[in-house]
A and B are shown apart, each in its own frame.
Chain A
Amino acid sequence: MRKWFTSGAPWIWMTSGAVSLALIAVLGLLLLIASRGLVYFWPSTLYEWQLQESQGETSVVIGERYERERVPRERLEQAGMTVPGEAPFVERFLVKTGNRERVSLDFRWIWQDQVIAERTPEALAVVERVRNGNFYGYPEALVVDGERLQGGQMATRLPSVIEEANRLRDEARELQSGAIGRINYQLEQLRLQKRKLALKGQDSPDNLAPLEAQASALRAEYQVLEQSLFALRQQAASDWLEVREMTGETVRLPMDQVLAVAFPNRMNLLEKLWHWMGKVAIFVTAEPREANTEGGVFPAIFGTVFMVMLMAVIVTPFGVLAAVYLHEYAANNALTRFIRIAVINLAGVPSIVYGVFGLGFFVYVLGGSLDSLFYPEALPSPTFGTPGVLWASLTLAILTLPVVIVSTEEGLARIPSTVRHGSLALGATQAETLWRIVLPMASPAIMTGLILAVARAAGEVAPLMLVGVVKLAPQLPVDGNFPYVHLERKFMHLGFHIYDVGFQSPNVEAARPLVYATSFLLVTVIVSLNLTAIAVRNHLREKFRSIDHG
């Protein structure tokens, strides 16, 4: 045995075990996120349980089964619960019962021992609503224009009624965020113009009159639009669906609240798949509802992409410039070596430090001076002197600058000096060599650096919490109002969305699946970006190997 230990064989196995553990951890984690994230959209079976209550009564619970666990009786009893049965372990499962406005908690634990009967009736439906989450129950009747439809009639009319309700809702939203939003924006601009005139001392009635006229015209327009918005809302609320819930009561759900009605127990696999794809599409394109715990994540996707693109535009030229300077122009002396080490080290500086720097320098110093120079009319409410998407991009640009510099320099170092010498010997100047030979050859390395920078920026949250991300941004940074791109606005971000919904929302249990879905989205984006970077880099290595030996 001793000999065996000194031979080292067990230790080699131990080291291999470390690799296996790391692999299990990474793959397990990806699998966990993927499964939890994707299952969220899958139409799960709806159950109806008949339960034995404590006083010999029975009750009915309708809902989705979330998770199942086996708990030692001891722990539950110490937590002050009364547990039926005698066994040392109790089996229980978590049920999402929905109907949030009718029960105090939309999740509840059920003891396996309590269950008398379990059924999956085909008539059970899940009604997705604008507010208060899902509603589970048996649809009884549909009332359209005062006409009461039941049974088959209801089933045939339901899709078209829902479609109509969704159309009306879209129209109302379009009106609200489009036309009415535009008027509000213009009114605000007029107010600022007036204030500007007042600051300059030019607020004579002659100057103010055209502004006033414009403002009153806008207000009149607003009145009209508001009327039509009310009309739309009223029309949408005139129909309703009657659903019998688990207590046996029939509840009236106005159609303006109903987003979709599905009968998951009736679906076959193909229908479920179709339903699933529809839900995924909605998740990616819709806006969040209910304090971000329901609906889609479109604004967060948009905010992330926009911020990262802005960052890429800023970081690439500067990063390349610095790398070219360091590698092609700076003398190879102690100072350059020091700078190189400093740059590499900056990549290891905690991101929150960049956030602090961004808040202090960009937001308060730069933004504050921009405000007092160009936007004095809006003061004391700040325009650029408050966290916003521009400052977030700049902060992340500084954060990722070392990544781009290091990667580009690596690319420059890989170019054989014979290539440069050849170009110079043929009479090209250094600038021409750089522009025509070196940079094109280094471009894949620059791309790699950029992709890595983008991947890092997309996943970074801590600094953004200081320089511009918010849980709910009323407007996107890009819209139809002049000047169309609003760099001073705050924005939403997928990573922050995860933090916010997972840790700051009142109903964490309900929000958790959505967080998994968002995580999956973010991981997908970042992993694919990284895989691209790795592929580009490998391709690059192959290419230069052939130059070196060719």
Chain B
Amino acid sequence: MDAAKLERYRSSQRRLLKNRLTRIGIVLGGSMVLVSLLLIFFYLLYVVTPLFRSPSLTESYQAPFLSPAKTLKLGLDDSRQYGYRFTDLGVVEFYQANGEHTARRLDLPEGAQITASAKAHPASEILAMGLSNGDLLLARTDFITTYPNNLRTITPALGYPLGSPTYPLGEEAIRSLSVAADQEQVTLVWRGDQGPYQLTRLYGERDFLSDEVVWTPVSVELPELNNVQSLQLSPDQRQLFVLTDNRIQVWQIGALDAVRLDQVLDAAEPEARITELALLAGESSLLVVNDNGVVSQWFQARIDGQRRYQRVRAFVHDGPVTAIASEHYRKGFALGDAEGGLDLYHTTAERHLLHQDGGNGAVRHLAFAPAGNGLILESGEGVTLFTLDNPHPEISFSALWQKVWYEGYSEPDYVWQSTSGSNDFEAKMSLMPLAFGTLKAALYAMVFAVPLAVAGAIYTAYFMTPGVRRLVKPTVEIMEALPTVILGFLAGLWLAPIVERNLAGILLLVLLLPLVILLCAWGWQRLPERWHSSTWGHYRELLLLPVLILTGVVALWLSPYLELLLMGGDARAFITHELGIPFDQRNALVVGLAMGFAVIPTIFSIAEDAIFSVPKHLVNGSLALGATQWQTLNRVVLLTASPGIFSAIMMGFGRALGETMIVLMATGNTPLMEWNIFEGMRTLAANIAVEMPESAIGSSHYRVLFLAAFVLFVASFFFNTLAELVRQRLRRKYSTL
């Protein structure tokens, strides 16, 4: 007896324990699953946020000068291990974080001094020096990586791009100099003690036997250059910018036999003097520094068929600028001022990225690390090195959503162009054309889907016989389940050519279908009483099937004749040439039809549900009071169900926004901003599908694509929540009625 009791007690203990464990398991597991669904939102956000984080600048170390000489050029190596300084005594000093500073001497000829110097564009890291004996010295730093004992070791060295350190330019000391250089060609603008400015171009040719480059000079005199304050050569060696008399002269020097003054820019800000010129990374942007702290950006834009330099935008710095440096590859630049402050800007994004105070007196020189992740500046009696965390300077709200004036464009515009073959290419990542394309595709789909789906839902819920309804509903569900890749394929390869070839017929069909239906309705009314009150009258949808198919066939058959009659035989040519509307084969019309097809079932199901579940006593009451079927539908049923229909349309719109495969396959995927129904578009979703596999992890492009996904997520969530809330309110309302 006791044993049995004990056994029962134990078993119930076990059962209770099991019950508790199950409870814990399910609560834990269930909430974990739900939390992991939330994770999607937060992960997307997590990837996107670095885009908008402000950059940070941290000081790595300071080092006092190794010698009291003046600085010609500052720089950093790729790994940011070394900072270096070219001095006017012909010495290059290398500074290291661990205090092991070293110095190398340049190969100056005996007795010669440096009398002038010029920096080539930052990415080349070349410094040109003019010597007192008339020689030119071209030098750059090289950092050699070796792996002794499997340890990465970087040793600094000096390199001479011309092969030999010096090259004889003239007889007398060089007083002024400007340089641009690449592998095959070096361009110099210089002046000796006396005589006019000279433009000298060295053409390099590799000797096959010795494998050395032999440089051949060609020179042109530039007697018109006087009173020169500053010189800059564009990196492509086609343009020379001369600052003189508070104006900037732009010289075309691409061909040495046709050197000419192209344009004179009144580039100074009102009541200000230009103090310095600098070039932005890439080919064509000029930064003009004014003594009131305004830095304006100028580049060539095509105005009235001519490429002229234009003032594009300006950045206002508080107080005069004492040093400017542009990044090697990106469109950013840094300013230093007399108080030792440091400011970072990005031109196209129009962002003031960062301000840092300094206390060491005026900033005299500035330079970026090649990857833009470090900075070196000179102030007081030494240099300071910084680590710069600035991964996405080119992204800003204005760059993503507003018109941006890109280099080479004649006006500000929304542009999406994320990649290109060229190295100097600046990614243009405006989400506007994509968002526009998304809306365009969705709206054209809705134009097609909403009337059909809502009208169909009304008929199915209110007029259709139960037998047919039992067949129609699963058919629509099947329609919803059709893979969109198949719809896209049919739209792109089957429908698009048909629409193109029978454009007139398709347009005719839009007119003809309602007319034919009306005609049928009228004809039915005219039939003898015995006919039109028979049970056949309940199967209008089935009666119409053959009629509509026939109408379609007739319209398509008529299409060529119609085109011949109205459009001179070729609708496409007529639209492009006569009407002047661009025409793509894969256009918004095709997308609208295909995506409309995909959206119809979503709208239909929900709207039908809302109309069908309108309480019957409302309908009966209305009918009992003498209203006709149509009046009841119009004034009672639709009014009651309208929130449901609204929510159905919202759901459909949400689905159309994110649809990928159909737009991917049925449009040309060109990011256009035109409402034209005969042109394609590129949507956010299709863009992600096309570009995501090729984007590098962590790059701005990658994060912007995540942002696109995030926008889609939020948009569809918004529309769906709206729809769902409306639906739930409606359900509560019905239950109280």
Q: Give the interface of A toward B (CB within 8 A).
A: 4, 7-27, 29, 32-33, 69-75, 78, 88-89, 318-319, 321-326, 328-330, 339, 341-346, 348-357, 359-361, 364, 398, 401-402, 429-432, 434-435, 455-456, 458-462, 465-466, 495-496, 498-499, 502-503, 508, 512, 515, 519, 522-523, 526-527, 529-531, 534
Contacts of A401 in B (CB 8 A): 33, 37
The listed residue (A13, A23, A339, A353) touching B540 by CB distance below 8 A is A13
Contacts A10-B518, A13-B518, A512-B493: A19 and B459 contacting too (C-beta < 8 A)? yes
Verify A360–B47 contact, CB threshold 8 A.
yes
Inter-chain contact B661/A18, CB cutoff 8 Å: no
Query: Could you tell me which residues of chain B, from 4 to 61, have a CB within 8 Å of some CB in chain A?
Result: 15-16, 18-19, 21-23, 26-27, 29-31, 33-34, 36-40, 43-44, 47
- Residues in chain A near residue B488, CB distance under 8 A: 499
User: By the criterion of a CB under 8 Å from any partner CB, how many residues of chain B are at the interface?
Assistant: 116
State in angstroms the CA–CA spacing of A8 and B685 once bound together: 42
Q: How far is the CA of A324 from the CA of B29 in the complex (A)?
A: 10
Q: Does the CB pair A345–B721 fall under 8 Å?
A: yes
Sample (10) of A-B pairs whose CB atoms are under 8 Å apart: A13-B540, A16-B517, A33-B490, A74-B570, A78-B573, A321-B33, A350-B660, A401-B33, A459-B484, A530-B477
- Assuming A360-B47, A499-B488, A503-B665, is B540 touching A16 (CB within 8 A)? yes
> Is B452 among interface residues, defined by CB-CB distance under 8 A?
yes
> Quick one: closest B residue to A503, CB to CB?
B665
Per-residue 0/1 for B556-582: is the Cβ within 8 Å of any A Cβ (1 yes, 0 no)?
000010011000111011000000000
Q: A8-B633, A75-B569 are in contact. Are A503 and B492 (CB under 8 A)?
A: yes
- From B455, B483, B630, contact of A522 by CB (8 A): B483
Given A325-B30, A329-B27, A345-B720: A522 and B486 interface contact (C-beta under 8 Å) = yes
Chain B residues within 8 Å of A402, by CB: 37
A360 touches B29 (CB 8 A): no
Residues of B close to A21: CB separation below 8 A: 452, 456, 513, 548
**Separation of A349 and B684 alpha carbons in the complex (Å):** 13
B29-A325 in contact (CB<8A):
yes
> Contact at B479–A429, with CB atoms within 8 Å?
no
Is the Cβ of A26 less than 8 Å from the Cβ of B459? Answer: no
Q: How far does the alpha carbon of A19 sit from the alpha carbon of B484 in the complex, in Å?
A: 21
- Among the listed A14, A78, A456, A531, which residue makes an inter-chain contact with B474, where contact means beta carbons less than 8 Å apart? A531
The docked-state distance in angstroms from the alpha carbon of A295 to that of B78 is 53
Could you list 8 further interchain pairs (A-B, Cβ under 8 angstroms) beyond the known A432-B15, A496-B485? A10-B522, A19-B455, A21-B548, A33-B490, A318-B29, A460-B483, A523-B482, A526-B482
Contact of B600 among A22, A339, A357 (CB under 8 A): A22
Taking the closest CB of chain B, its distance from the CB of A313, in whole angstroms, is: 15
Binds A, one of B312-320, B351-359, B651-659: B651-659
Given contacts A13-B517, A74-B568, contact A23 B688 (CB under 8 A): no
Measured between alpha carbons, how far is A435 from B21 in the docked complex, in Å? 13
**Bound form: Cα–Cα A534–B518 in Å:** 35
Assess whether A15 is in contact with B459, with CB atoms less than 8 Å apart. Answer: yes
Indicate the member of A11, A14, A323, A350 with the most B CB atoms within 10 Å. A350
Closest residue of chain B to A33 (Cβ to Cβ) is B486
- Say if the beta carbon of B545 comes within 8 Å of chain A: yes
Q: A19-B541, A330-B30 are in contact. Are A498 and B489 (CB under 8 A)?
A: yes
Find out whether the CB atom of A19 lies under 8 angstroms from the CB atom of B456: yes
Contact among A72, A353, A498 for B658, CB-based, below 8 A = A353
Is chain B's interface secondary structure helix, strand, loop, or mixed overall?
helix
Residue from B19, B33, B458, B513 whose CB has the most chain A CB atoms within 10 Å: B33
CB-contact partner of B26 in A32, A329, A499, under 8 A:
A329
Residue interface mask B669-693, A partner, CB < 8 A = 1: 0000000000000000100110011
Contact status B483-A527, CB under 8 Å? no
What is the minimal beta-carbon distance from A6 to any residue of chain B, in angstroms?
8
* Most chain A C-beta atoms within 10 Å of own C-beta, residue among B481, B544, B659: B481
Considering the chains assembled together, what is the distance between the CA atoms of A407 and B476 in angstroms?
19
Task: Give complex CA distance A11, B514 in Å.
Answer: 10
B388 CB-CB contact with A under 8 Å:
no
Q: Are A353 and B604 in contact (CB under 8 A)?
A: no
Tell me which residues from 240 to 283 in chain B have a Cβ below 8 Å from any Cβ of chain A.
none
Which residues from 486 to 544 on chain B have a C-beta closer than 8 Å to any C-beta of chain A? Answer: 486, 488-490, 492-494, 501, 513-514, 517-518, 520-522, 524-525, 540-542, 544
Report yes or no: A350 in contact with B493, Cβ–Cβ below 8 A. no
B665 closest partner in A (C-beta): A503
Check if B460 sits within 8 Å of A19, measured CB to CB: yes
Q: Does B463 have its Cβ within 8 Å of any Cβ on chain A?
A: yes
Question: A455 contacts which chain B residues (CB < 8 A)?
Answer: 481
Q: Is B629 an interface residue (CB 8 A)?
A: yes
Let me know if B697 and A350 touch, CB within 8 A: no
CB-CB under 8 A from B475, the residues of chain A are 23, 26-27
A-B contact count (CB 8 A): 338
Instruction: Answer whether A346 and B37 are a contact pair too, CB < 8 Å, given A17-B544, A523-B482.
Output: yes
Known contacts A330-B30, A429-B15, A531-B478: does B489 contact A519 (CB below 8 Å)? yes
Interfacial chain B residues near A502, Cβ < 8 Å: 489, 492-493, 665
The 8 Å CB contact of B513, one of A17, A78, A328, is A17
The stretch among B341-349, B376-384, B708-716 that forms the contact with chain A is: B708-716
The distance in angstroms between the C-alpha atoms of A324 and B459, with both chains bound, is 38
Given A20-B548, A75-B570, A352-B688, A462 and B660 contact (CB-CB distance below 8 Å)? yes
Q: In the complex, A534→B476 CA distance in Å?
A: 12
Please report the C-alpha to C-alpha distance between residue A89 and residue B633 in the assembled complex, in whole angstroms. 50
- Docked complex Cα distance between A9 and B572 (Å): 39
Looking across the interface, which residue of chain A has its beta carbon closest to that of B695?
A359
Let me know if A349 and B43 touch, CB within 8 A.
no
Q: How far is the CB of B731 from chain A (nearest CB, A)?
A: 13
Q: Write out the residue numbers on chain B whose beta carbons fall within 8 Å of the beta carbon of A318.
A: 29, 33
Contact A351 B660 (CB under 8 A): yes
Given contacts A431-B19, A466-B692, A325 and B713 within 8 Å (CB-CB): no
Cα(A17)–Cα(B490), bound, Å: 24
Verify if B717 is at the interface (C-beta below 8 Å from A). yes
Is the pair A7, B628 in contact by a Cβ cutoff of 8 Å? yes
> What sequence of 0s and 1s flags, for each residue 426-461 of chain B, a beta carbon within 8 Å of any chain A beta carbon?
000000000000000000000000011111101110
Q: Which of B494, B524, B545, B634 contacts A24 (CB 8 A)?
A: B545
CB atoms of B716 and A350 under 8 A apart: yes
| Chain A neighbourhood of B542, CB < 8 A | 20
A342 contacts B37, CB within 8 Å? Answer: yes
Instruction: Using A20-B544, A325-B31, A329-B26 as known contacts, say yes or no to A15 and B37 having CB atoms under 8 A apart.
Output: no
User: How far, in Å, is B474 (CB) from chain A's closest CB?
Assistant: 5
Q: Which A residues touch B36, using CB under 8 A?
A: 398
Q: Which of B455, B458, B724 counts the most A-chain CB atoms under 10 A from its CB?
A: B455
Establish whether residues B27 and A15, one from each chain, have CB atoms under 8 Å apart when the complex forms. Answer: no
Bound: A43/B688 CA distance, A: 42
Q: Which residue of A lies closest to B715 (CB)?
A: A350
Given the interface pairs A20-B548, A462-B689, the reply to whether A356 lies near B705 with Cβ below 8 Å is yes
Best-buried of B40, B483, B521, B545 by chain A (most CB within 10 Å): B483
Q: Are A354 and B30 in contact (CB under 8 A)?
A: no
**Pair A16/B22 contact, Cβ less than 8 Å:** no
> Which residues on B sit within 8 Å (CB–CB) of A14?
455, 514, 517-518, 521
From residue A396, how far is it (CB to closest CB) to chain B in Å? 13
Chain A neighbourhood of B688, CB < 8 A: 352, 355-356, 466
Is B69 among interface residues, defined by CB-CB distance under 8 A? no
Any A CB within 8 A of the CB of B725: yes
Q: Is B549 positioned at the interface, with any CB of A under 8 Å from its CB?
A: yes
Taken together as a complex, chains A and B put the C-alpha atoms of A529 and B474 apart, in Å, by 12
**Min C-beta distance of B564 to chain A, whole Å:** 6
In the assembled complex, the CB of A327 is this many whole angstroms from the nearest CB of chain B, namely 10
Between B21, B37, B501, B654, the greatest number of chain A beta carbons within 10 A of the residue's beta carbon is seen for B37
Chain A nearest CB, measured from B582 CB (Å): 17
Q: Does B145 contact A (CB under 8 A)?
A: no
* Chain A residue nearest to B567 in the complex (CB): A74
Contacts of A11 in B (CB 8 A): 630
Report B105 CB to chain A, min CB distance, Å. Answer: 41
- By a CB distance below 8 angstroms, the chain A residues around B554 are none
